[in-house]
Amino acid sequence: MNIFLSAKRRRSRRVAWYRRASHFILHPSSFIPCVALFAFVINFASNAQQRSGAHSTVARDTFTASDRRLVERAIGATCAERTRDPQGSMPIDEMQSRPSLPVNNPDAVDGARRADRLLPATRKLVTETIIKLAKEYDLYGGAVSRGKINGSVARVQSVRRVKPDVDARDNASVVLREPRTIEFGTIFLAGLRSDEAMISVLAHELTHIASGQTNSLRPLFKAIARRAATRTGLRIQGQRAEELGCDLVGVIATREFINQTASWEPLPRRLARAFEHNCVDDDSSDEDHLSPRSTIRALFALDVSLASELVSETSIGQRRIAPAAPAITLTASATGF
C-alpha cells in the first residue's frame, strides 16, 4: 500500500490526511556516497556515547507563564512580519483559494528551481536535526534506537528530486513505497517565496520519508507531542504527533540554515519565514493536523529560544547580520552529499 504524506493543512471541508493511492512512479536510483554516509552515522553514534547528560528532564520540561506570554508575542511578530516582507509566504488558506497554476507559470518555475537548489542542503540539515532531537529526547542511547535513527538517515539521503504537480495545488507529498521524489503543488511552489520557507517544507517532507513505512521515528514524534501538549494544553495524538514532529524538524533545520548562510537581512525576518505559511485567517484543524496557528504556538512552545529571537528588542529595521567572509553556499558539493 502506497501512502502519500502531506505537509499542508486544509479547511475543514477539504481535510488534509494520509492519501492512499493505487499507483506510484518509479524513479532511477541515485548514487549515495556510502563511505561518507557511514562515517557520518558512526561519528554521531560516537558522540552519543560521549553525551555529558547536562540537560536534565526537569530543566528541559520547564515552561513558565513568562514563556507562554513570549510565545504569544512571537506568533504576533511572525504574522506581522509576513505582511512587511517582500518574500513573505502566502498563507495556506489563501493558497487554497487561488486557481491552479500551470507548471510553466513563472512563479511556480522559480519555486521549483529554489526547491531543487536547496534539496541537497536540506537533506544534510534534516539528518543533523533528527539526530540532535533523538539525543535531546533520550532516544539515541541504545543500539536498537541508534539503528532506527541511522536507517532514517539513509532514507533521507535517497531523495533526489522535487516534482511540480498542477493537481497537487497547495500541497506537498511523498510516496513512502518509493521515497525518491517530493511532489509539490505548483501553487505551493509559488507561495513559498524564500529559501527559509522552502527549507521548512522540504524538511517536513524529508522527515516523513525518514520515518518511513516502519514508522521508525514514532517514539520521537510521541515524545515531542507529549511535551508540546503539556506546554500548550492542545490534544496532540496519532497523526498529529507525526505532523508536528515533521514541522519541528523543519523549523530547526531552517534555523541552522540561517546560521550557516550569511545575509544582510535581519534574523527575525528570516526566522519568521519558517512559520509564515501558517499565518491564516481560516484557522481550521482536523483529526490529523493541528490548526495552522496552533501549530505555530506548539512549535514556539517546544523551542522558546526561537520565540525569543523573533521578539528581540532590536527593531527589525535596525538589526543587521554582517556577511561572513567567505559566505557559505549550501550546495551538493558544500554539504558532502
Task: Spell out the domain ranges in the chain.
Answer: 65-335
Which is higher by pLDDT, 21 or 169? 169
- Whole-number mean pLDDT of the chain? 80
Q: How many other CB atoms sit within 10 Å of the CB of residue 41?
A: 19
Mean pLDDT computed over 186-203: 97
27 pLDDT tier (thresholds 50, 70, 90): very low
Q: Does residue 334 register a pLDDT over 60?
A: no
Q: Which of 136-145, 160-169, 269-278 has the lowest mean pLDDT?
A: 136-145
pLDDT at 180: 84
* Other Cβ atoms within 10 Å of 36 Cβ, number: 13
Gap between the Cα atoms of 190 and 110, Å rounded = 7
Q: Does residue 327 have a pLDDT over 60? A: no
What residue has cell string 507529549? Answer: 226
Q: Is the pTM of this model over 0.85?
A: no
Please indicate whether residue 129 or residue 56 has the higher confidence score (pLDDT).
Answer: 129
pLDDT reported for residue 84: 94
What does the alpha-carbon distance between residue 138 and residue 243 come to, in Å, rounded to a whole number? 20
d(CA 89, CA 322): 24
Which pLDDT score, from 0 to 100, does residue 145 have?
Answer: 79
Please give the share of the chain, as a percent, with pLDDT higher than 90.
62
Lowest mean pLDDT among 69-83, 171-185, 317-331: 317-331
Q: Are 267 and 319 in contact (CB under 8 A)?
A: yes
pLDDT bin (cut points 50, 70, 90) of residue 61 is low
Q: Which of 290, 294, 293 is nearest to 279 (CA)?
A: 293
> What's the CA gap between 199 and 115, in Å, rounded?
8
Q: CATH: 3.30.70, 3.90.1690, 3.40.390, 1.10.10. Which one for 65-335?
A: 3.40.390
Answer whether residue 316 shows pLDDT above 50: no
- Largest separation between any pair of C-alpha atoms in the chain: 54
What is the average pLDDT across 29-46? 41
Cα–Cα distance measured from residue 108 to residue 114, given in angstroms and rounded to the nearest whole number: 10
